[in-house]
């Protein structure tokens, strides 16, 4: 969609005298290998594409989006998702965040999240992200059982997942999310319980617990794997919710569990119908305007080459 022209006398919508919070989502469209369940906008990264070219395109995209705001608002959160953002160098993330700071005001307590894959991360890279200003890591563990990781097509093993958490702590991250999936092919109730216990043992501040869904235009959609019984999955989920509560994690959103004070502000902004700018290939955004009274939703071109 084409953004409406700026400078048309609009006022950004406020609720009860309070400006609607504004977040920024940044999409990194590359991964080392596409997982068979994934229908996100991601693909293997071409070796010839320099990181700086995509970084500069993101900043041009953001500048255009910000120019359309009638009244500037500070960014309350930034989420760098994918794909696999941890494929990008610390230098690229540093340049990206420096460019964002030059273009936009940031809330003093801004939450800046970066998604990381245990198979494409190391201590030096995590330290560089932390030095650049990233203050929350979301690590795609998915499972702590080797056989289930293999069935999901993940490129890491349980040891690498645990090592990624240790590396993040060593780099100074005090706010970690672990992504965990359940209802996996041939997964038993005992397997699901073991994954929950393993995730709790890693002592994250936040756990995102997602049921595997089969999307049509994926390898799993074309050749459906043998999934556990739905009643078994439902019972295992109830048991997981109870176990996480006992471990101090509040269930505050459909798939999200957090220790006190560690709810993901970026995701909560989506749920609370806040505004968000989406930049990057295939990124979505939503902005609210008072004159005329409307919500503008935008989607960027999905293919990285077309986006650039």
Structural domain that includes position 146: 22-307
Is residue 155 situated within a structural domain? yes
pLDDT of residue 47: 66
Q: Is the pLDDT of residue 179 over 90?
A: yes
pLDDT digits (tens, 9 = 90+) for 200-241: 999 999 999 999 999 898 888 899 999 999 999 999 999 999
**Would you state the structure tokens that stand for residue 108, as one six-digit string?**
């003093």
Among the ranges given (45-54, 62-71, 74-83, 240-249), the one the predictor scored with the smallest mean pLDDT: 45-54
The predicted model gives 120-127 an average pLDDT of 86
- Say how far apart CA 94 and CA 60 lie, in whole Å: 16
Is residue 148 situated within a structural domain? yes
DSSP 85: G
* DSSP-H helix ranges across the chain: 51-67, 90-103, 123-132, 146-151, 158-170, 189-201, 219-222, 230-246, 265-271, 304-307
DSSP 72: -
Is residue 7 situated within a structural domain? no
Is residue 251 situated within a structural domain? yes
Cα distances (angstroms) measured from residue 148 to each of 16, 104, 118, 156, 210: 48, 42, 15, 11, 14
DSSP 222-252: HS---PPPHHHHHHHHHHHHHHHHHTT-EEE
Is residue 4 situated within a structural domain? no
Q: Is the pLDDT of residue 173 over 50?
A: yes
Supply the CATH number for residue 295's domain: 3.80.30.20
Number of domains forming the structure of the chain: 1
SS3 content of the chain, % helix, strand, coil (to 5): 35, 25, 40
Which of 144, 171, 174 is closest to 156 using CA atoms?
A: 144
Is residue 47 situated within a structural domain? yes
pLDDT digits (tens, 9 = 90+) for 73-108: 999 999 999 989 999 999 999 999 999 999 999 999
Is residue 254 situated within a structural domain? yes
Residue pair 12/289 in contact by the 8 Å Cβ criterion: yes
Is residue 54 situated within a structural domain? yes
Which of 154, 112, 166 is closest to 137 using CA atoms?
A: 112
């Amino acid at each position: 969609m084409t953004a409406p022209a700026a400078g048309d006398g609009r006022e950004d919508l406020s609720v009860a005298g309070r400006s609607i919070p504004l977040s920024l989502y940044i999409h990194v469209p590359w991964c080392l290998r596409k997982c068979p369940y994934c229908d996100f906008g991601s693909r293997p990264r071409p070796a010839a594409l320099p990181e700086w070219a995509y970084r500069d395109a993101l900043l041009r995209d953001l500048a255009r989006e910000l120019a359309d705001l009638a009244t500037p608002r500070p960014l309350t959160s930034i989420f760098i998702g994918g794909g696999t953002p941890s494929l990008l160098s610390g230098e690229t993330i540093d340049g990206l965040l420096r460019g964002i700071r030059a273009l936009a005001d940031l809330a003093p307590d801004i939450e800046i999240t970066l998604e990381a894959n245990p198979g494409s991360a190391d201590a030096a890279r995590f330290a560089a992200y932390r030095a650049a200003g990233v203050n929350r890591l979301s690590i795609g563990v998915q499972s702590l059982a080797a056989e289930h990781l293999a069935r999901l097509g993940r490129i890491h093993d349980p040891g690498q997942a645990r090592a990624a958490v240790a590396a993040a702590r060593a780099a100074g991250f005090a706010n970690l999310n672990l992504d965990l999936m359940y209802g996996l092919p041939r997964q038993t109730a005992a397997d699901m319980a073991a994954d929950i216990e393993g995730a709790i043992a890693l002592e994250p501040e936040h756990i995102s617990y997602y049921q595997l869904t089969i999307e049509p235009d994926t390898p799993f959609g074309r050749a459906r794997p043998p999934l556990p019984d739905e009643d078994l999955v439902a019972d295992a989920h109830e048991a997981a919710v109870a176990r996480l509560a006992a471990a101090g994690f509040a269930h505050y959103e459909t798939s999200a569990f957090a220790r006190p004070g560690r709810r993901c502000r970026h995701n909560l902004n989506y749920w609370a119908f806040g505004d968000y700018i989406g930049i990057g290939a295939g990124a979505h955004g939503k902005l609210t305007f008072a004159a005329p009274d409307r919500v503008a939703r935008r989607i960027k071109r999905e293919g990285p080459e077309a986006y650039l």
